[in-house]
C-alpha cells in the first residue's frame, strides 16, 4: 500500500457494506492472480491491503461479521508469512487462490450488497 494514511482515509469514507465489497474484490483479485505465473508482488500487496481493510472495518461491523473477518485476517497473515513459498508452488498457489475465491464470496454475502436491488 503506497500511502496507507491516504488509503485509510478514503476507505473509511464508505459505509461498512461498501468496504466489505472492496475486501471481497481484493480477494477475488488474489484468486485471479493465483491462476497466473506473474503477479507475485501484486498479490503480496493485495494480501497486506486486505489485512488493513479488515482492521479498519471489523470494529464497525456486526459482531458475527467481525468474528469472521478476524478468522480471515489470521488466514491472510498465514499466507503473507509464507508467500514466497506459496507462490513458487503451483498447486499450493492454486489452493490459496481457491480459498481466496471462497472467502470473497463469503465476504460479499456478509456485506449485504447482494441483497440490494
pTM listed for this prediction: 0.92
- The dihedral through the CA atoms of 73, 75, 78, 80 has a sign that is negative
What's residue 2's pLDDT? Answer: 59
Residue with cell 493465483: 34
Residue 102 · residue 29 · CB < 8 Å: no
Distance CA 79, CA 29 (A): 15
The pLDDT tens digits for 52-99 are 999 999 999 999 999 999 999 999 999 999 999 999 999 999 999 999
The pLDDT tens digits for 2-16 are 588 999 999 999 999
The pLDDT tens digits for 32-53 are 999 998 899 999 999 999 999 9
Amino acid at each position: 500500500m503506497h500511502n496507507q494514511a491516504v488509503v485509510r482515509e478514503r476507505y473509511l469514507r464508505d459505509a461498512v457494506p461498501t468496504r466489505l465489497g472492496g475486501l471481497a474484490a481484493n480477494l477475488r483479485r488474489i484468486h485471479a492472480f493465483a491462476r497466473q505465473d506473474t503477479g507475485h508482488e501484486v498479490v503480496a500487496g493485495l494480501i497486506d491491503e486486505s489485512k488493513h481493510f479488515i482492521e479498519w472495518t471489523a470494529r464497525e461491523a456486526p459482531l458475527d461479521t467481525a468474528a469472521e473477518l478476524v478468522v480471515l485476517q489470521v488466514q491472510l497473515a498465514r499466507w503473507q508469512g509464507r508467500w514466497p513459498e506459496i507462490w513458487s508452488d503451483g498447486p499450493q498457489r492454486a489452493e490459496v487462490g481457491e480459498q481466496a475465491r471462497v472467502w470473497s464470496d463469503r465476504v460479499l454475502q456478509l456485506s449485504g450488497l447482494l441483497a440490494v436491488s
